[in-house]
Amino acid sequence: MEKDTGLLLYRNMLLIRMSEERLAQSRQAGLVHGACHTYVGEEAVATGVCAHLNQDDMVFSTHRGHGHALAKGVSPFEVMAELYGRETGCSHGRGGSMHLFKPEVGLMGTSGIVGPCILQAAGAGYTFKLLGKPNVAVAFFGDGASNNGAFHEGVNLAAIYKLPVLFVCENNLYATEVPSSYSSGNPDIYQRAIGYGIPGVKVDGNDAWEMFLAAGEAVRRARAGEGPTLIEAKTYRTRAHSEGMRDVGYRTQEEVESWKARDPIKMLRDRLLRDHTADEDDIDNVHNEVTARVTDDHQRAADSPWPKGSDALSHVYFEGA
Amino acid sequence: MKELTYTVAAREALDEEMARDPRIFVMGEGIGKRGGNFNTTLGLYEKYGPLRLCDTPIAERGFIGLAVGAAMSGSIPVIDFMMVDFILDAMGEIINQMAKMQYMSSGRLRMPMVLRGCIGIGGAAATHHSGSYYSIFSNIPGLRVIVPTTPADVKGMFRTALRGNDPVIMLEHKNLLSNKGLVPDEDYTTPFGQARIARAGKHVTAVGVALTVQKCVQAAEVLAKQGIEVEVIDPRSTSPLDIATILQSVKKTGRLMIVDDAFEPCGFGAEVSAQVGAHGFDDLDAPIRRLSGAFAPTPYSPPLEQEIVPSVETITKALYDLVKE
Amino acid sequence: MAVEIVMPKLGWTAEEATITEWTKKDGELVQRGEVYLLVEGDKSVNEIESFETAILRLLPDGPKVGETVKIGTLLGYFVQPGEKPPFEAAQAAAQLGGQAEPQASPSAAAAAPSPNPDPYAGRDKRGPKISPRALRIANELGVDWQKLTGSGTSGRIVEADVQAAAAAMAATAAAKVAVVQAPPVQPVAAPAIVPAPTQPVVRATPVASNATRKTIAARMSQSAHTTAPVTLTTEVDASELFKLRETLKGEGAGRGAAQLVPSYNDLFAKLVALALQDHPALNASWSDEGVIQHAHINIGMAVQTERGLLVPVVRDPARKSLPDIAAEANRLVEQARNATLSGDDMRGGTFTITNLGMYDIDGFTPVINLPECAILGIGRMVAKVVVVDEANPRRAARTAIRKMMVLSLTFDHRVVDGAPAAQFLQRVKKFVEQPYIWLVR
C-alpha cells in the first residue's frame, strides 16, 4: 500500500466518522430537524469505492448517504448545513439527511426511497454509453434494497446493455430492523450476480484496503466496457437505524460489540502502522486536521442563514439555465 | 402543409428531433427493429441503431427508473410505453423520482424526458389496456401532462417536449392515432398550457380531453342545426392547464360542461369546475356540469364498453339540457 | 275560498298608496312568492308578493292603475281554480250559463301552471332563483331582477331574462327622457327620506310622482316635530383638505378615467365616519327603549334628483379606501339619477352629510334625517385672509390667505347633549384642517 493512498483512505473515513458524530450530537441539540441515518461502522465501503472516482463519475445513494456524499467530495460544511436546514446546505435546505444533492461533484442524490438509486445508476451508465463518455456510475444500496424489484430490474438492465455501473450492496445485516437472513432466500447477495450473467464479489466491508482493491477492479471493468459488477460489502452499522431511535429488540449487545471491535478506522490504522506505511505522527496529523475541519465546518453551518420561505415554490419546473 | 396521420406526425417529430439532438434515445418494448406496436418508431432503428432505439424487457419500473437516471446524467430518454396502464408499475419512479428531481436538486439537475403512449377506452381492449389517468398525473407537481388531439398538435407538442427540460407525459388516445390532419412543413413547436378553440360558439362551452374533444365537436355540429352554438375547447395539456381560455369562453357563454373519459371523482372536470367556480362565478348562468367516464373498471364486451363513456349522443343531450337549464 | 286583496300598508307613515302596475293579469295563476302587484308609497315602488298559489281576480270596478287609494281599499281576490270570486258568484247565480270563466293566461311568465305548487316556493325568502351571471348583469344594468320570472327549466332567472328586462326598461326610459330632460344631480341640504328598516322589499322607482313629495313632506314634519334640534356652526381652515384633493386630482389624471378622484363629499364621508368612531354618541338613534348606539357607521349623502331628495348610503366608509368610497358614491349617485337606486341602498344610514357649498351657502340648519340623531351641513370653500400661527409659540402670528369653510351640525338634543356634539364637531374640524391624522388610520 502506498502511503498517500493509505492516508487518504484513513483521512476520508475519519472525516465521515467525525462529521457524523458531530451530526448525532447536533441532532440531540436540536440543530438537525428531521431524520439522521448515520453510516458509522460502514465508512470503509464508500471510502474504498470513491477513491477510484473522479468528479464526472456519478454516485446514486440511499437514505444512509452522508458517507457517500462526503466520500464523493461534498464538504462536511454543506452536509451539516443541509441537515441544519440552512440555505448553504448542499440542497439549499430542500432535502435534509435523505436528499443530499451535489451534481457538481457527481453526487446525484441520496434518497428516501429504497431501490430507485439502482435504476438511476443504470440510467447514468446508459448516458455514458450513449454519449461515449469514459465514466462510471455507482449505486450504493443496502441488503434491504437487494430484495426489492428495483434490484432485479436494474441489475438485469445494466447486464443486458453492458453498462459501466458498480452495484455496491452494503450488507449491514438489517433492513431497518429486519434481519437479511430472514428476508433473503439466499443472504449471500453477491451470488445473485450469476442470475444476471455478471461478476459478483464478496468483500469485507470493514476493511478499507480490501474495498479499495475490489472497487478498483470493478471500476476498471466498467471503464473498459466490460459491463457492471455486483459487490457485496459485508459490514455493520454500530449506531441505531436512525438517530434518536431505540436500538434494542432486534440485535444483541454482544453482536454490536463484536462489530465495534472490527471498527474499520481502527483496522486501517493498525494496518498502516503494522506495515510501516505510516507512523503515529502521520496519523496524529490527520486527526488534528480532520478535527479542526469538522469543528470549523459545524460552526459555519450552524451560523448559516435560513432559506427564504418564498423560495419554497422555486424549481418545481425548469426555470432557465 | 401536408396531410399526415396522428401517428406519422408524432413519428416525424421524433425522427427530426433525434436527427437534431444525439442525446435523444427511445426505450420500450418492441420499439427497435419491429418499429413499435403502434408503428411509433417505424424505420427509426435502421437510421439510428440499437443504442438509440433500445428494446427493453417487460420491466416498466426498471426502464423508467433507468430513464430517470439517464435524464439526470445528460441524455434525453423517450419512453414508449404502449399503454398507460403498463406504467402504473413505475408510479414510484414517476412521482417520487422523475417529478421531484429538479426540485430536490434545487434546479441543478434537469429532467428532459418524455413518457409517451396510449390512453383511452375503445376497441374492446378491456380494463388493463383502457386507462387514461391524466387526472392522476396532473395532480403531481413537477410533471407536464399533454394530451394532443390533432396531427399538427402532436408534432408541435412532442417537439416542445423534446426540446424542453421538464419531464413530460404525452398521452395519445388510441382512437385518434389514425386521424388525418394538415401539418405545417416548417419547424414549429406548440407550447404547453395554451388551449385550442376547436370550434367557436356563444351559447355553451364544452371542454373535452383527447377523444372527447372530437366528440364534443361532433355534438356541436348536431346542435348547430338547432341554432345552439357550442364553443369547444381543447386544453391540449392538463398540466399546465390554460384556465384563462376556459374562463374567457365562459365569460362569453355563461355555461360550462367538461367532458372526459376518465373517472369523475377528484378528476380533471372537478379541477376545471373548481377553478371556474372560483374565478368565473359571476359569469355563470347555470351550474357547471360534468360528463365523465363511469366510476368503474372498463368492461370488455362492446355493449358494456359503450355504456361507460360519454358518446356523441349523450354529450349532445347534456349540452342541450345545459343550454336550457 | 276567495281571499281579499287590499291596498297594503307600507312603512310606518303611509296612509295611502298608488297602484303602479299589476304584474299579473286578471285570471292568471300566481305562484306563492311571486310578485303580482307594484304599489308606490313612501317614495319607492314596493313589490307585493303572493302568500299563496292562486288565481288573481281583479275587482271589475276597482281602482285603476295610477289611482291613489287609502290603505285597506279592496282591489280584488285570490281564488282557487274553479272557484268564482264573490263579485262573479252572485252574477253567475243570476245568469246561469252566461259569461265564460276567465282563462288562465298562457303567458311565458305563468307557463304550465302546475296543480302542485312549487315545493320550494316561499322557502327561499330572498326571492326567485337567479344565476350568478344574471345577478351580476342585473346589478350592472340596474335591473330589478326580483320582478322577473326565470325562463330556465328550473325556473332560474338567466342572463337572457335580465337582458330582456333591461331592453324594456331602456325603452321606457327613452320615452320619459323625451318629455323631461333630467337636471344634473346635485347634493343638497335636507333630511331625506330613508325607508324605514321594517318596510317590505323596496326596489327601484322608475317614475316620479306626488307620492314622493308627500312622503318627503311627512318625514320633514316628523323630524321637525319630534326632535329637539340644535345647530352648531364652526369655521374651519380647509386648505390642507383642498391641497389633498388637488394632489389626488393630479395623481388621478395620470391614471386615466379608471381611477376616480374622491369628491369633497367622499372625503367628508370618510373623515366624518372616523370622527364618529371617536365620538360614538353621535352615531345613535332615539327609540322607545331609549338611545341606541349603532355598532356600524354608514354615511348617508343627500342627493337632489329629478324626483326629489334621495339619501343613498355609503356603507362603512371608515374601513374603506377613498377610491372604494368614491366608486361606491359614484354608483349611488348614478343610480339615484337614473331612478335605479334600490331601497337597500337608501337604508341603514347612521349619520348624514349634506353639502350646499356649490350654491355659495356658508352656514345653514340642516334637518335631521330620522331615525338618525345628527346631520352635518357642509358650506362653500372660500379663500379668506386669516391670522395664522397665533397660537404657535415658535412662530410669529401672521396673516395668510386660506381656504375657509363653515360646518353646520344639527343634532337631536334628546339623544345627545351640547358638549359631546361640540366635541365631535371639533374633531371633524381637526380632521379637515389636518387630514394626515386620519389618512394614516
- Output the pLDDT for position C287: 79
Rounded mean pLDDT of C288-316? 86
User: A183: domain range?
Assistant: 3-301
- Output the pLDDT for position C212: 63
Rounded mean pLDDT of C163-188? 65
Q: How many whole angstroms separate alpha carbon C246 and alpha carbon C241? A: 9
CATH number, domain B196-324: 3.40.50.920
Which region, left, alpha or beta, applies to residue B133 given φ > 0 means left and ψ of -120 to 50 means alpha?
A: left
Q: What pLDDT band is residue C203 in, cutting at 50, 70 and 90?
A: very low
- Output the pLDDT for position C83: 82
- Output the pLDDT for position C192: 44
Q: Please classify residue C287 by burial: count the beta carbons closer than 10 Å to its beta carbon, then call 0-12 exposed, 13-18 middle and 19+ buried.
A: exposed
Residue A264 domain-assigned?
A: yes
Domain C1-115: top CATH class = mainly beta
Is residue C405 within 8 A of residue C429, CB to CB? The reply is no
Q: Measure CA A155 to chain center.
A: 19
- Output the pLDDT for position C247: 86
Respond yes or no: is residue B264 known to be catalytic: no
Share of chain B above pLDDT 90, in %: 100
Give contacts of C 145-174 with B, CB under 8 A: 152-154, 156, 158-159
- Output the pLDDT for position A320: 82
The answer to whether residue C193 scores a pLDDT higher than 60 is no
**In terms of pLDDT, which residue wins out, C285 or B233?**
B233
For chain B, the chains sharing at least 3 beta-carbon pairs closer than 8 angstroms are A, C
Number of domains in chain A: 1
Q: Mean pLDDT score of chain B, rounded to an integer? A: 97
Q: Cα separations (Å) of A102 from A75, A134, A257?
A: 10, 20, 35
pLDDT in tens, B20-52: 999 999 999 999 999 999 999 999 999 999 999
SS3 sequence of C340-373:
CCCHHHHCCCCEEEEECHHHCCCCCCCCCCCCEC
- From-to residues of CATH 4.10.320.10 in chain C: 128-179
CATH number, domain C128-179: 4.10.320.10
Q: What pLDDT band is residue C101 in, cutting at 50, 70 and 90?
A: very low
Q: Cα separations (Å) of B279 from A204, B257, C140?
A: 64, 16, 18
Question: How far B31 CA sits from the closest chain A CA (Å)?
Answer: 16
Q: What is the CATH number of the domain that holds A122?
A: 3.40.50.970
Question: How far B325 CA sits from the closest chain C CA (Å)?
Answer: 5
The answer to whether residue C110 scores a pLDDT higher than 70 is no
Residues of chain A with pLDDT under 70: 321
- From-to residues of CATH 2.40.50.100 in chain C: 1-115
User: Do strands B289-293 and C398-412 pair parallel, antiparallel, or not at all (unpaired)?
Assistant: unpaired
Share of chain C above pLDDT 90, in %: 25
Beta carbons of B51 and A157 less than 8 Å apart: no
| Residue from the list C134, C136, C153 with its beta carbon closest to the beta carbon of B325 | C153
Chain A contact set for B104 (CB, 8 A): 91, 94-95, 99, 101, 109
Closest chain B residue to A125, measured at CA: B70
Q: Mean pLDDT score of chain C, rounded to an integer? A: 79
Residue A317 domain-assigned?
A: no
Beta carbons of B68 and A119 less than 8 Å apart: yes
- Output the pLDDT for position A163: 98
Beta carbons of B285 and C154 less than 8 Å apart: no
pLDDT in tens, C339-382: 777 777 888 899 999 999 988 899 999 999 888 999 999 999 99
Chain B contact set for C133 (CB, 8 A): 254, 282-285
The answer to whether residue C228 scores a pLDDT higher than 50 is yes
Q: Measure CA C146 to chain center.
A: 16
The answer to whether residue C191 scores a pLDDT higher than 60 is no
Task: Name the nearest CA neighbour of C284 among C221, C368, C201, C391.
Answer: C368
Please determine whether the domains at B2-183 and B196-324 fall in the same fold group of CATH: yes
What's domain C202-439's superfamily in CATH? Chloramphenicol acetyltransferase-like domain (3.30.559.10)
Residue A315 domain-assigned?
A: no
Rounded mean pLDDT of C117-124? 43
Is B74 at the interface with chain A, CB within 8 A? yes
The answer to whether residue C334 scores a pLDDT higher than 90 is no
Respond yes or no: is residue B129 known to be catalytic: yes
Is residue C282 within 8 A of residue C374, CB to CB? The reply is yes
pLDDT in tens, B163-181: 999 999 999 999 999 999 9
Q: Could you tell me the end-to-end alpha-carbon distance of chain B, in angstroms, rounded to an integer?
A: 43
Beta bridge partners of B145: B169, B239
The answer to whether residue C122 scores a pLDDT higher than 90 is no
Is B58 at the interface with chain A, CB within 8 A? no
Q: For the ranges A296-305, B51-60, B202-211, C414-423, which has the lowest average pLDDT?
A: C414-423
The answer to whether residue C114 scores a pLDDT higher than 70 is no
Is residue A25 within 8 A of residue A148, CB to CB? The reply is no
- Output the pLDDT for position C43: 63
Residue type, B227: G
Beta carbons of A127 and B74 less than 8 Å apart: yes
* Structural domain spans, chain B: 2-183, 196-324
The chain B residues in contact with chain C (CB within 8 A) are 254, 281-286, 321, 324-325
Q: Measure CA A241 to chain center.
A: 15
Q: What pLDDT band is residue C90 in, cutting at 50, 70 and 90?
A: low
CATH number, domain B2-183: 3.40.50.970
Q: Which member of B93, B129, B172, B305 is catalytic?
A: B129
Q: Which of A88, A126, A161 is most worth mutating to test chain B (most B CB atoms within 10 A of its CB)?
A: A126
Q: Which member of B12, B17, B29, B60 is catalytic?
A: B60
